[in-house]
Chains A and B, each alone.
Chain A
């Protein structure tokens, strides 16, 4: 079955960097759009970024544009989120999610279990 396993979260100081990874299995990774969504502690959900199956189309939320970079390695079935210039308000659980249909943008499900990022001095 579909599995998405995130890693790379942790505690980092403001201004620091982290690289999140999401390893996929149980489906043809290169056929599907992928995304990162985050949830701050006790707060709502925020869409961070998504990437097309080929990697040629990427969208970012304004709150992370210029600081975060989304990429994918289809051969390794892995999604990456490079996060630079981290701020306190970037603290959240970051979820990786898979598009429900292949080849085009659509809804996202399932989501992984998430990796926690804490930005604090």
Chain B
């Protein structure tokens, strides 16, 4: 099973700041990696897939990069709605797995 680790576990930031999250895979997943955002009380929402493709409706200030085992999610300027939990997920191999999440709070 591919194990995904995320860092940091929690990030405290202010609106307007830039943030970068990290996701590391225990083995290569090529670019079969996605990022999800989960706001309190809501279902996760797909932000990025195939490491660097934005999902429908996701603004250009959100970007992703990486391949193999190391991936990053960047938001260039934090908006109030960006304060949430972010998960990475791989579908290179079954079972698909998620990282433990990074909480971004104010």
Contact = CB atoms under 8 A, between A and B. Distances in A.
Contacts of A23: none
Main DSSP-derived SS at the B contact region:
loop
Could you say which interface size class chain A belongs to?
10 to 19
Nearest to A4: B43
B55 A109 contact: yes
Contact of A45 (B46, B56, B87, B94): B87
Contacts of B46: 100, 107-110
Contacts, number: 46
Contact of B95 (A47, A95, A112, A114): A47
26 contacts: A44-B87, A44-B98, A44-B99, A44-B100, A44-B101, A45-B44, A45-B87, A45-B98, A46-B98, A47-B98, A61-B95, A62-B95, A100-B56, A105-B91, A107-B34, A107-B46, A107-B49, A107-B50, A108-B46, A109-B46, A109-B55, A110-B43, A110-B45, A111-B45, A112-B43, A114-B43
